[in-house]
Structure 1
Amino acid sequence: MATRTPESEPLLTPAEVATMFRVDPKTVTRWAKAGKLSAIRTLGGHRRYRESEVRALLAGIPQQRTGD
């Protein structure tokens, strides 16, 4: 099974994450500000979230935070 490098991992928009959790996209932004999710900023300043981290949170698996 091939592992993905952080550079090739799919990134999700706040709307996509919100749909998965059935919450408002603003809630996802608040989670990122609170440190529950790590956000990656695009060149345009938009937030994106790592799919693996989002799926782990959805499954209730605690994640080790990295120093991004």
Structure 2
Amino acid sequence: MEGNYEEWGGLTYTYEVRESQLDWPTGVDKVFRHEEYDWVTMVTCEYFNPISGEYFLRRMVRAVLVDVSAE
């Protein structure tokens, strides 16, 4: 099965990426929105400005849990 995997406690959790988007630093409130399924959200910074010492944008990647299996 294709997907991103995370192993923990003898189980393999398979996630499917559904969103990858850039947003302003003030737009990360989307991270906390309610979902009916099990999701994982990762946020990282992009486009570093060496003059200001800050990152210009945030990348938000959201994935939904599609399978849990014992190895």
* TM-score normalised by length of structure 2: 0.29
Q: RCO higher in 1 or 2 (8 Å CA, sep ≥ 6)?
A: 2
User: Could you say which structure has the higher strand fraction?
Assistant: 2
Larger Rg: 2
